Structure 1
Amino acid sequence: MSKRAYNFCAGPAALPEAVLKKAQAELLDWQGKGLSVMEMSHRSDEFVGIATKAEQDLRDLLSIPSDYKVLFLQGGASQQFAQIPLNLLPENGKADYIDTGIWSKKAIEEAGRYGRVNVAASAKAYDYFTIPGQNEWKLSADAAYVHYTPNETIGGLEFGWIPETGDVPLVADMSSTILSRPLDVSRFGLIYAGAQKNIGPSGLVVTIVREDLLGRARSICPTMLDYKVAADNGSMYNTPPTLAWYLAGLIFEWLKEQGGLEAMGAINQRKQQKLYDFIDASGLYTNPIAKNDRSWMNIPFRLADEKLDKPFLAGADARGLLNLKGHRSVGGMRASIYNAVDEAAVDALLAYMAEFEKEHG
C-alpha cells in the first residue's frame, strides 16, 4: 500500500488516518448490522444513536452550554450567509458586519440582499494584513447582530480575541478555526462552521445557536432554512447528509482520544509557531500578516521571486507535500495545518523549505 501524502489543502482538508481506517472497516458492515451507514435510514435507532453521540461529543469538546442548540445542516457555510439574516435580521432591521477578507466580504454581500448592512470596521485600510482594533469599530446600537469571521482561510488573518458586543448577539463564521483549541461558546449568539476543515468531509455545516434566537425567521424564510424547524426536528426535517454526520462523529471521538481541545491547542500552537519562526528567519520566504493577527490554521507565504513558485510546488509534490498552492485570488503559497495535519507533516514541510532555500536562496 502506498504511503499517504502530507495534505496541506485548505478544504476539503486532511482527515485523521485513524478515522479513515475505522470508516473503511465499517464501510460494508456497520457494527455487524450487515449494511453501510450510507444505506441506513436516518430515522433508524442505529443512525439516531450515531447522531446523538456525535452531538454529545461535540458538546463535551466545546463545553457547549445547555441553552444552545447544535444543528447539523446542509449547504455549507456559504448558505449560512443567507440563512443568518433570514433568521436573525428583521424586515427593516440592520446588522453590523466586520470586513477582514474574502469570506467576510461574501457574507456582507449576501446579507445585503435581505436588509441594511453596516460595515462597522474593515481591514481594507491595512491591505487585509492587520485586524482593526475594536476601538476603531463603528457598531450600531440597534444592530440585530454583529457578524465577523474569526479566521480568514484565504488571507491567513485571524482574531486572537473575541469582540465585545454587549447585548447584541455575536455571530461568527468559524469554519476554519473551530476545534483548533478551546473556545468560550457562551460569548456568542451563533457560531457556524463548514465541516471540511476540522469537523469532517464537505457537505455538512454545524451551527451552534442560542435558544432565545430561534423562532425569529422571516415569513419569506424557506422552511428548510428556519433554524427553529431544524432544532425542533433534530436536524432531520429532511434526509440529512448521513455519511458526513457519521464521519464528523468519528472525528469528535478521535479528538477526545487526543486529549480534547486543550491538547489539540498545544499541538496547534507548536505547529504554527515552527512555521512562522522559520518564515520570519528566512531570506526567501515571507508572510505579510501582522504577528498578532496571524492565523493558526492557514499560513500563507510568498517566495522572493514568483518564478520560483512552479519549481517549489513541483518539488513539494514530488515529496508528497500536497496542495501548497495559494488561493487563486492572492497567489503565493499556503499551508493549511488543521488538526489532522500532524507535527511530522509540518517538520517535513520545513525540511523541504530549508532544502529549497539552500538551492535557490
Structure 2
Amino acid sequence: MRVVIAPDSFKGTVTAEEAALALAEGWRSVRPDDHLTLRPMADGGEGTLAAVAAAHPGSTLHRVAACTGPDGRPVDGAYALLPDGTAVIELATVSGLPLMAQLAPLTATTRGTGELVAAALDHGATRLLIGLGGSASTDGGAGLLAALGLSLLDRDGRPLPDGGGSLARAHRIDRTGLRPAPPGGVRLLTDVTNPLLGPDGAAAVYGPQKGAGPANVAELERGLTHLAGLFGGDPDRPGAGAAGGTAYGLAAAWDAAVAPGASTVAELLRLDQALATADLVVTGEGRFDATSLRGKVVGEIVLRAERAGVPVRVVAGESADARALTLTALAGDPASARGRAGHWLRVAGARLADSAAG
C-alpha cells in the first residue's frame, strides 16, 4: 500500500514534520512493508520554511542573528535558499505574535522580516517566497520596508517610529533608498483573503487577536487608511490585509503577488505527483472544523486527493466532525492529548494502519 502523509502543524504542540514522522512511525508499527511518502505541509504560517526547504534537495539554511523582534527585542532568524536562487522567508519566525513578551498592537513591527529579506538579497537571492502567517503587528509592512530603505517621514522630515500607531502621522514616503525587488519577483503566501481596510480588514478582524481594543482598532484603521492614501496600490485586493497589511505594503512597494499559501506549498512539494500513485492520504491539524476546508492545509489536501481519486483520512487534535480521528478521543481528554501529542499521533497512525489492514 502506498500512503502519503501530509499534515499541517498541530499548533502549540508539534510541527508538521514532527506530526508526519509520528504518524508514519505508528503506521509502520502495524504495516512495516507499506510505502510511505511524507509531505509535511504549511499554508504560509508556521512550518512553511521547513516544509519548502525539506522538499528541495540542495537547499541551504542561513541564520541571521539579532533581527529586530516584533517588540524591538533582538531575535535570531533564518531563511532558506533553494537551488534555483529562491529565498524562503517565514515572517512568524522573527515578527510573530508568540515572540511578544507583552502584546503591543500600536508599536509591534515587521522590521525583523525586512532584515531577513535584506540578508537574503545580500546573499544573492533572485526570487522571494514570504510566508505571512502569525504576525504580531498591524503596521502595513512599514517596518519591513524601512529595513529595506524606505522611509515614512513626518511633517518635519523625521522618520516615524515603528508600529501601526504612528502611520497616521506620515506626511511623505521617501522611496529613494528602497532596494529594488529581486529580478524573479516576490510571492506572498497567505491563507486569508481580507482587504486592507474596512470591517473585514487587517485592523478590524485581526487587531483584537494582537491585543487591540476598540480604540486601538480605530487608530490602526486610521493609520492604514492614511498609508494607503500616500502609497497608492490596491488596498481592496484580496489578501492585502494579510499580516497586518504587510501584503499590501509589499504589493504597493515591490509589486509583490499574493498567492494562496496552502496551494502554493502543495505545488512546491510536488504533492500532486505523490498523490498520483497513492492508495491513501493522511492529513491533519490541531483543530478540524468548518474553516479547515476553506483555504487551509487540510482543505487543500482534500481537494487535491479528491481530484486524484485518493481517499483521505483526517487526524486532528480536536474536532466536532466524526469523520476525523482525534487525539482527544484517543487520549481521553484535551490536556492529555496536547501534553503527549507525539505519542497520540503514533497511536493514531497505528489505528489508521490497522483499519487499512482490515
TM superposition score category, shorter chain reference: under 0.3
TM-score by length of 1: 0.27
- TM-score normalised per structure 2: 0.28
Greater relative CO (CA pairs within 8 A, separation 6+): 1
